[in-house]
Structure 1
Amino acid sequence: MVALGVAGALIGGLSPSIISKKDATSKISEVLNLQETGIREFYSICGACGAGCGIKIGVDGKGNLLYVTSNPNHPQRSICGRGSTGKWLWSHPLRIKKPLKRVGARGEGKFNEISWEQAFDEIASKLREIIDRYGAQSVVVTRHDIRMWNPLFGFLLGTPN
């Protein structure tokens, strides 16, 4: 209740040219509602493509993803179909959450779960084998997103590709 009193005092002192009382009241109600329900919101940039759209992510008190939507304060103000599927991709029941190693013939669909450490060790070993045999230029690092990993990873491997 103290928050409502403080909010009312703040709203009363705001210039109408900055924000309307209706908009301010709406925002304050939204924040108080989030506090009561235990929902936390985070702002980030979507990594589904290279556009870097602003997203708003809602998480409950247990850390479960509730929604991914556009950030209304971001200059772009909307997200595409890829970004809109963020929650669906994250919580889909068929999403692979641990490394799997093929144990049968290709296409047979037989896999065993392995540790992340084993997966990274095997990938590093195979990359080292390829680089030693064919040279660093034989490795291409590619991914369509906005992160710096591509050039950094390529640099660390010694490949300009």
Structure 2
Amino acid sequence: MQYHQLPAQLYYCAKKELAITDIPFFAEEVMDDLQHDLRVAAVDITGPPEFHYFDIDLTGARPFYILIAFPVTKRCDTGRFSFLETEPFSCLTTEYRGPMAGIGEAWTDLVNSTLAAGYLLQNQGREVYREWLGFESDRNLTELQLGVAARWF
């Protein structure tokens, strides 16, 4: 687990309120369209795709907001999605290697370690897909980023 202060970033993204179980379906629905819009508009993608979660309930008991986002170099007129400029993001990170079936446990471990270290959580978490080979691949590499607001000493 490492602390990072990520800079402000411009993203092209799709947003939806959904349940945890609906994430793969939403991703399948929008990933190609997001990339297509950016190709047509000649906008450079500057990093791997990211999923941003807001007010997520890890138990799956209630819906939350997700952004499926690509970091980009500029805004322009594009398709049906939106541009978002984030503020700097303070977070604790860890890497998870494996299939999506095990990522929930990795999130639980990160949350527990973060709380044990005295951090106060923000309402945002992110997944950065550094290497993606498929939903069930044990070679996927995902960086988990858990937003933190302050730390008790």
TM-score, with normalisation over the residues of structure 2? 0.23
> More strand per residue: 1 or 2?
2
> More helix per residue: 1 or 2?
1
Q: Which has the larger radius of gyration?
A: 1
